[in-house]
Amino acid sequence: MKNNPLPRLDEDPVLREQLLPHCRLSLGEVWQDPAGRHRVACADATNESQVRSLICNDHASLAIQDPPYNLIAFDLRNIDSFIEWCADWVRVSAQVMSPDAAFYVWLGADQNQHFQPLPQFMMLMQQLNLFESRSFISMRNQRGYGTQKNWMAVRQELLYYVRGNPFFEVQYTDIPKILRGYYKNINGRKTENLERGRSENIRPGNVWVDVQQVFYRMEENVSGCYAQKPLKSIERILLASSQPEDYVLDLFAHSGSTLLACERLQRRCLTSDLDPIYCEIAIRRLEHYRETGKTGWQNGHPFEDVLGGDTEHLPNN
């Protein structure tokens, strides 16, 4: 069997036709978790009534949003219409969230096009005035894009906004402090890091270098997805900005990383995707985790019951 058996499912019309009859949701429908913890909707993030049917009477105190910046921003829409589109889902999110809320947004910055859409999105958030800025986090990727004549782009941007006074708890990395520490003179005596702080590990700050990008050899890999965020990054956000049983909103579910991270950390997830295939993948990933304890399909894929395990015969493989 191939290691990465499914191509990008959003771009493969033949496979889509095969898979769509096996998807439980179509646009406007909501999946209720039989365990009563989460909901998944097939919804347009900019459609308030569709998002409201996902939320019901619950209020999320944390949102982790990962809009499709590459695809939609750069190929299908120009930057102005991308930003107008962002204004719509940011407003919808603000409508359905708690008064005290944390709002995280993953974004790209195209270094060949004046770093769009990052600066435009930052300006938009200032104009909308719905959330206040708190931090600009950069996460380091292991792979990147670049040429011999430029710095390789290995960064993903994560913006952190708040309104009111949401929960926040300082996080530590798994990097031991002693490896990354520095000495400091206190009262003429050279002291070590370990003497000064309570934790053995360092605080990640707003540059995260200790998160492995998802690739096909990892258990959490979900083939057929093209933009999967590492569970470790989502779990860090959940631990910092939510508490057990809190509701967490993610309007761009895709591989269901936020859903799965919520399950693992006893949060409740309200998540949606416009594409019924990605809604189905998110639901299947949660079910697969509950059945097997596995976070993804390292040597397989979410639709083995439909397509079989060996997919070398499929188009694009």
Which residues here bind ligand SAM, judged by CB under 6 A? 44-46, 66, 68, 225, 227-229, 251-252, 254-255, 257, 272-275, 278
Task: Compute the distance between CA of residue 232 and CA of residue 236 in angstroms, rounded to an integer.
Answer: 6
User: Residue 207: what residue type?
Assistant: V
Of residues 202 and 235, the one with the C-beta less far from ligand SAM: 235
Residue with structure tokens 């990933």?
A: 285
What's the min distance (Å) between Cβ of 230 and ligand SAM?
8
Contact 202, 172 (CB under 8 A): yes
Task: Compute the distance between CA of residue 257 and CA of residue 236 in angstroms, rounded to an integer.
Answer: 12
Half-sphere exposure of 160 (CA within 13 A, CB side): 19
Of residues 70 and 150, the one with the C-beta less far from ligand SAM: 70
Of residues 157 and 275, the one with the C-beta less far from ligand SAM: 275
> Rounded to 10 degrees, what is the CA torsion of 45, 48, 49, 51?
40
Task: Compute the distance between CA of residue 270 and CA of residue 55 in angstroms, rounded to an integer.
Answer: 7
What's the min distance (Å) between Cβ of 228 and ligand SAM?
4
| Chain centroid to CA 117 | 17
What's the min distance (Å) between Cβ of 288 and ligand SAM?
15
Task: Compute the distance between CA of residue 186 and CA of residue 200 in angstroms, rounded to an integer.
Answer: 20
Of residues 202 and 253, the one with the C-beta less far from ligand SAM: 253
What's the min distance (Å) between Cβ of 223 and ligand SAM?
12
Phi, psi of 143, deg, nearest 5: -105, 155
Which helix (DSSP H) or strand (DSSP E) does residue 97 occupy?
A: strand 97-107
Phi, psi of 55, deg, nearest 5: -80, -35
Of residues 22 and 199, the one with the C-beta less far from ligand SAM: 22
Nearest Cα neighbor of 277 from 22, 5, 13 is 22
Phi, psi of 111, deg, nearest 5: -70, -15
Contact 111, 150 (CB under 8 A): yes
Task: Compute the distance between CA of residue 39 and CA of residue 289 in angstroms, rounded to an integer.
Answer: 16
CB atoms within 10 A of CB 8: 14
Of residues 46 and 93, the one with the C-beta less far from ligand SAM: 46
